[in-house]
């Protein structure tokens, strides 16, 4: 029987799956619904898991053809979420090696094609993760939007709201961001902004969705927008510095990932400038692939270890 491995990359909107044979050849790729323990009901997660295992069975003929599965997803910081995912797979007939990792781990492997290095990610949230030559790992950030996520889309959206109300009540000069927020939320008064911000149904994603308002304001060199951009860049630089210090990785490869670092050119430029100034020996690299590829490569490594009896 031909054997395979599978890597899953679960997110808040979709789950990507990559299936490879034991030689590393990509056999099939698939997408399904979201897979995130922190933002989904267990029933909905079961639906995604069942669907993807059905697709995997179609590709290989049997789930027994899989030597290893690696699932990378956000929201697995606690043992309960890991136990749930493993049990859900086993209940659906999976008997192979199962590895559950944070999406920052698979992002590093996918981006650099190896597990040693540093990845800085800024999307809706933010995190930096590194692994050195001895195998020691360290992460900075990623502790959630209530107490952390600095330099992320959420933090930028929150700072835009803060600048908007300060522009309204004259603590800041200019009301460009106030006007932009009102237009974005289809509001008319300051009370509409307050209601948008604090109503119970408001989520992290709704606040993060305001981050793009920064771009036209930056194009006009709005001072509040410039300050928000600089604040985000410094916060992201601090994330990298924490990993470098803990792991003694002054000369490591570093890759920048996530929507903020890909599409917000000024923030990206400021981060790179900061890093070149404070950590000049870091080597900035372009990502060679994505997180689902990293998960598949980790599954392939696990399969090889199983063959060697590790």
Q: pLDDT truncated to tens, each residue of the chain (310 aa)? A: 799 999 999 987 789 999 999 999 999 999 998 888 777 788 888 999 999 999 999 999 999 999 999 999 987 777 888 999 999 999 988 999 999 999 999 999 999 999 999 999 999 899 999 999 999 999 999 888 889 999 999 999 999 999 999 999 999 888 999 999 999 999 999 999 999 998 855 678 899 999 999 999 999 999 999 999 999 999 999 999 999 999 999 999 999 999 999 999 999 999 999 999 999 999 999 999 999 999 999 999 999 987 766 5
Could you tell me which residues come within 8 angstroms of residue 306 by beta carbon, excluding any fewer than 6 positions away? 67, 68, 97
**Which has the closest alpha carbon to 104: 117, 116, 120, 86?**
120
Instruction: For residue 26, count other CB atoms closer than 10 A to its CB.
Output: 11
Provide the residue ranges of all domains of the chain, joining segments of one domain with +: 4-113+289-308, 118-285
Q: Distance between CA atoms of 4 and 257, rounded to whole angstroms? A: 28
**Which backbone phi and psi does 233 adopt, to 5 degrees?**
-65, -40
CATH no. of 4-113+289-308? 3.30.420.40
This prediction has a pTM of 0.91
Question: Going edge to edge, which strands form the sheet with 4-10?
Answer: 26-32, 15-21, 4-10, 66-73, 97-102
Asked if domains 4-113+289-308 and 118-285 share a fold, the reply is yes
Cα–Cα distance, 119 to 108 (Å, whole number): 5
Instruction: Provide the CATH topology of domain 118-285.
Output: Nucleotidyltransferase; domain 5 (3.30.420)
């Amino acid at each position: 029987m031909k054997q395979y491995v599978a890597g899953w990359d679960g997110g808040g909107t979709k789950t990507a799956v990559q299936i490879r044979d034991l030689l590393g050849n990509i056999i099939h790729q698939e997408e399904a619904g979201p897979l995130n323990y922190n933002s989904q009901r267990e029933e909905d997660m079961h639906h995604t898991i069942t669907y993807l295992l059905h697709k995997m069975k179609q590709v290989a003929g049997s789930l027994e053809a899989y030597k290893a599965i690696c699932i990378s997803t956000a929201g697995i910081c606690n043992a309960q979420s890991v136990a749930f995912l493993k049990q859900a797979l086993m209940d659906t007939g999976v008997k192979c090696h199962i590895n559950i990792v944070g999406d920052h781990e698979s992002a590093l492997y996918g981006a650099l094609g190896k597990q040693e290095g540093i990845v800085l990610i800024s999307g809706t949230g933010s995190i930096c993760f590194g692994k050195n030559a001895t195998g020691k790992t360290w992460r900075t950030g990623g502790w959630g939007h209530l107490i952390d996520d600095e330099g992320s889309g959420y933090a930028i959206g929150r700072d835009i709201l803060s600048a908007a109300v300060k522009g309204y009540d004259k603590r800041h000069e200019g009301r460009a961001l106030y006007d932009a927020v009102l237009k974005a939320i289809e509001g008319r008064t300051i009370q509409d902004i307050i209601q948008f911000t604090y109503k119970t149904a408001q989520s992290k994603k709704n606040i993060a969705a305001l981050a793009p308002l920064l771009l036209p304001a930056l194009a006009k060199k709005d001072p509040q927008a410039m300050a928000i951009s600089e604040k985000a860049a410094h916060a992201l630089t601090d994330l990298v510095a924490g990993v470098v210090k803990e792991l003694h990785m002054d000369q490591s490869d570093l890759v920048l990932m996530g929507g903020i670092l890909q599409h917000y050119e000024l923030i990206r430029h400021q981060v790179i400038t900061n890093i070149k100034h404070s950590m000049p020996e870091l080597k900035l690299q372009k990502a060679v692939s994505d997180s689902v590829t990293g998960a598949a490569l980790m599954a392939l490594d696990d399969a090889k270890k199983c063959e060697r009896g590790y």
